[in-house]
A and B are shown apart, each in its own frame.
Chain A
Amino acid sequence: MFEARFETGETLIKIVDAMKELVEDCNIDCSTTGMSMQAMDQSHVSLVALMLQKEFFGSFRCDRSISLGLNLLSFSKILKCASKEDAITLKAEDGGDVLTLMFESKDGSRVSEFEMKLMDIDSEHLGIPETEYKAVVTMPSGEFQRIVRDLGIIGDTVGIGCEKDGVRFSVTGDLGSGNVVLKQNTSADKPDLATLIELEEPVELSFALRYLSLFTKATGLSPQASLSMSPEVPLVVEYKIDDETASYLRYYLAPKVDE
């Protein structure tokens, strides 16, 4: 038996919305430690990784590890039947082929239940090596979204160059070029607006804006996003879902390299 209750159902809706354009079908793995998911996009250029620790949930029970094979578009459609304020409980029997979704209004006056068919999905799990990144930029997630959107007007590839006191996003396209520099800024009174740079050595890498734009669908999950980079390895964009329990949504993106 698996049962997990999201006290704030809106978080689950945001998580699914932040994954569904990148990944069509996926296995959500449930175990005694929590819920997790790892899936690549169809072109195998990016990967989305979700970790929700059991302590994140209002209540969590998982007697036996199970994989829930889900079509994220269908999942998202059913979740649209929930109200923003609802608590959402997911339930599945061991060896069952349906996922039960229960939506409860705040005052408990309305309870709805839906069943969704589960699928058998062959998923390839990739081993992600533990990496000490040379540069980690933490910035307001809305700022990252805006930069990706603005630079996407000019071109399709962004250069991200990180130095001690700032990070530069630059783009060149048919109609011209542009760049945005974000300087280190520790807004002590508003930590959500801070830009922090942890640097071991300067790093400069290029990435496809199309994927970064899909990653920014997670903006509503966290006020801050972090970008971790090292030379010649995939970028990690992380949105913390819950700081206390180390629950997160992470995206990995392979760099573009000069031929």
Chain B
Amino acid sequence: PRKQRKLGQFFGAP
């Protein structure tokens, strides 16, 4: 099974 990643794991707060 594959787990859906969240965007926050890649894009940080500016």
Contacts and interface: CB of A to CB of B under 8 A. Distances in A.
A224 B8 CA distance: 28
Interface in A96-127: 124-127
Interface string B1-14: 11111111111111
Interface in A71-108: none
B13 to A, nearest CB: 6
Contacts of A125: 13-14
Nearest to A46: B7
B5 A257 contact: yes
A129 interface: yes
A259 B1 contact: yes
Contacts of B3: 256-259
A47 B12 CA distance: 13
Contacts of B7: 40, 44-47, 126, 234, 252, 254
Nearest to A232: B10
A127 B11 contact: yes
Interface in A170-211: 206, 208
Secondary structure call for the A interface: loop
A255 interface: yes
Contacts of A234: 7, 10-11
> Interface residues of A toward B: which range?
20 to 34
Interface string A13-43: 0000000000000000000000000001001
With most chain A CB atoms within 10 A of its CB, the pick from B3, B5, B7, B12 is B7
Nearest to B12: A127
A46 B11 CA distance: 11
Nearest to A157: B2
Contact of A256 (B4, B9, B12): B4
Contacts of B9: 254
B13 A126 contact: yes
Interface of B: 1-14
5 contacts: A45-B7, A254-B5, A254-B9, A254-B10, A256-B3
